[in-house]
C-alpha cells in the first residue's frame, strides 16, 4: 500500500471524529482526534505499518473552541518502540484529556528488493541474503542490539541469534514481531553483561508483506494490540 492510500484511509476513518476546534487547522502528517479514540488510532497506525510517530500533544478544548496544549510527549530514537511508548502514554492520560494531536510520518510499503538492498548496503549490517530469503548478519558487541532492531524493522523474522563460542537463542515462529524483538534484545543485553565484545551472529528470514498487517506483525505488544 502506498503512503497516500494510508493517509487517505486515516482521514476517512478519523477525520469525522475530529473535535470542533473553531477552525484551528491541521494537516497531514498530523491528526487531531478525541482522546477516547486514541488507542484505536494507534492500533490502526500499527496495522498500516506506520511506526514513525514523533509526538503527541494533549489538548483541552476551550469554551471559545480554541485548544490549550496541556502536555507534549516526544518519542525516543528507537523507531521500533515509538508506537508502544505512545500507547503507554495515551493510556495514562485518557481520563484527563479531551483530545490528542498526533504527529507522524507515512511511507509506502517497502518492496522486497529495496529492503534487501538496504540490508546489504547498511554499513552496520552488511547483511548476506540467500536465494531462499535467509538473512545473515555478523556484528560485534552492542552493535548486535541495533542490528536486531534494523532487521525487525525491515520485516525480517529472526530465527536464531548466537554469540561465537557461547550461547544460542532459538526463536520460534509462534511469537509476534514485537515479542520477537523484545525477547531478542533482552537476550543480547544479558549476554553483553558477560561478553561486551562478543561476536554475534543473527539469522532470519525476510518476509513478504503488504499493509494492512496481520496483528502478529504489529509493532505493539499483545496487551496494547487487543481491541
Per residue in 185-199, pLDDT (tens digit) is 999 999 999 999 999
Residue with cell 541474503: 129
109-161: per-residue pLDDT in tens?
Answer: 999 999 999 999 998 899 999 988 899 999 999 999 999 999 999 999 999 99
pLDDT band at 25 (very low <50, low <70, confident <90, very high): very low
**Count, residues in the chain:** 227
| Mean pLDDT, the chain, integer | 87
Cis peptide before 29 (omega within 30 of 0): yes
Query: Which of 11-15, 70-74, 198-202 is predicted least confidently?
Result: 11-15
Burial readout 165-178 (b: 16 or more C-beta within 10 A, e: otherwise): eeeebebeeebbbb
DSSP secondary structure string for all residues of 152-183? HHTTEEEEEEEETTS-EEE--TTS-HHHHHHH
Higher pLDDT, 67 or 100: 100
Amino acid at each position: 500500500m502506498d503512503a497516500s492510500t494510508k493517509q487517505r484511509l486515516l482521514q476517512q476513518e478519523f477525520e469525522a471524529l475530529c473535535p470542533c476546534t473553531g477552525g484551528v487547522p491541521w494537516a497531514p502528517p498530523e491528526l487531531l482526534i478525541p482522546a477516547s479514540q486514541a488507542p484505536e488510532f494507534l492500533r490502526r497506525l500499527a496495522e498500516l505499518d506506520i511506526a514513525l510517530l514523533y509526538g503527541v500533544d494533549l489538548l483541552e478544548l476551550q469554551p471559545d473552541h480554541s485548544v490549550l496544549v496541556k502536555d507534549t510527549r516526544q518519542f525516543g530514537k528507537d523507531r521500533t518502540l515509538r508506537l508502544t511508548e505512545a500507547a503507554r502514554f495515551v493510556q495514562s492520560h485518557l481520563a484527563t484529556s479531551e483530545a490528542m494531536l498526533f504527529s507522524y510520518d507515512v511511507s509506502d510499503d517497502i518492496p522486497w528488493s529495496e529492503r534487501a538492498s538496504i540490508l546489504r548496503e547498511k554499513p552496520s549490517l552488511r547483511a548476506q541474503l540467500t536465494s531462499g530469503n535467509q538473512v545473515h548478519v555478523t556484528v560485534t558487541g552492542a552493535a548486535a542490539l541495533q542490528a536486531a532492531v534494523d532487521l525487525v524493522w525491515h520485516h525480517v523474522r529472526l530465527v536464531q541469534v548466537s554469540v561465537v563460542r557461547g550461547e544460542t537463542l532459538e526463536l520460534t515462529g509462534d511469537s509476534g514481531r514485537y515479542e520477537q524483538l523484545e525477547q531478542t534484545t533482552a537476550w543480547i543485553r544479558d549476554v553483553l553483561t558477560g561478553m561486551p565484545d562478543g561476536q554475534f551472529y543473527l539469522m532470519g528470514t525476510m518476509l513478504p508483506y503488504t499493509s494492512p498487517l496481520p496483528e502478529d506483525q504489529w509493532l505493539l505488544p499483545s496487551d496494547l494490540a487487543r481491541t
